[in-house]
A = this chain, B = another copy of it.
């Protein structure tokens, strides 16, 4: 899209959504997706300013996965940018589009710092997975984003299992295989704790996650905590654990380097991931 001739204005968008009513992030014909709904809203905002801008996103969340800290960017032509009083107004305009349901929200819109790329500039992604494993923690108001588990789980065993998986590994055992794509990742954080309501919450952070990796890691802790490290070491897919349902999963934050290092980071990531990366990455 970018021609290198037109000075496009890059806008960073911070997004939140309830994934229940979406067929994931990525636009698909005939399906309601987060990207589709937001790009349609952008097309409405700029209906008289040429080609509608397209979104580039940090984490292409899968069907039913939620986000509170998703990050995307759009490149606006000078004409489109001039149509706004300021960058922040884009959030209000998109949120105000008739028919944009409250299950997706632009929380902030701001001019991106030079070199910023929502996808290739990201240093890490952080996810949470919520499990209510006893009736007191099963809050019907929060059922859209919490898995209800029928029996009490051993929080300490799950936490120990999670800790045993930290570091740089080949996560092939927890990734849906894709030809030519690496499954080597650095799992920077993975811990389990209970929140004030007694809900078991996993917090995971990695440079990037491959498809269904978070839900596989969570599933290994729930179903086979004592074997989690052995599963990792075997480096092959196994039936010892289940990939958990999407509903408990939320993308909560995407980390970027300081502004001065943005361009270098994006170049470096682009170089490493030579193959097109079309599948959702949880």
Give chain A's interface residues, CB within 8 Å of chain B.
16-18, 66, 68, 91, 102-108, 135-136, 138-145, 148, 250
Assess the B16–A139 pair: CB atoms within 8 A: yes
Q: Chain A: interface secondary structure?
A: mixed
B residues in contact with A144, CB < 8 Å: 141, 144
Closest A-B pairs by Cβ, 6 of them:
A18-B140, A141-B145, A107-B135, A18-B141, A103-B140, A102-B143
Q: What is the minimal beta-carbon distance from A267 to any residue of chain B, in angstroms?
A: 31
- Report the Cα distance A102→B17, complex, angstroms: 21
Q: Chain B: which residue is nearest A21 at the CB level?
A: B140
- 17 CB contacts below 8 A, A to B, read A16-B139, A16-B140, A18-B141, A66-B140, A68-B139, A102-B148, A103-B143, A104-B140, A105-B135, A105-B138, A107-B135, A107-B136, A107-B138, A108-B136, A141-B142, A141-B250, A144-B144
- Report the Cα distance A142→B18, complex, angstroms: 8
B residues in contact with A145, CB < 8 Å: 141
- Report the Cα distance A18→B142, complex, angstroms: 8
Q: Chain B: which residue is nearest A107 at the CB level?
A: B135
- Report the Cα distance A16→B142, complex, angstroms: 11
Q: What is the minimal beta-carbon distance from A188 to any residue of chain B, in angstroms?
A: 22
- Report the Cα distance A144→B102, complex, angstroms: 10
> Quick one: given A91-B135, A108-B135, A135-B91, are A68 and B103 in contact (CB under 8 Å)?
no
B residues in contact with A135, CB < 8 Å: 91, 105-108
B residues in contact with A91, CB < 8 Å: 135
- Report the Cα distance A17→B142, complex, angstroms: 10
- Report the Cα distance A102→B104, complex, angstroms: 23
- Report the Cα distance A91→B148, complex, angstroms: 15
- Report the Cα distance A225→B107, complex, angstroms: 27
Q: What is the minimal beta-carbon distance from A132 to any residue of chain B, in angstroms?
A: 10
Assess the B140–A105 pair: CB atoms within 8 A: yes
- Report the Cα distance A191→B22, complex, angstroms: 37
Selected contact of A141 from candidates B68, B107, B148, CB within 8 Å:
B68
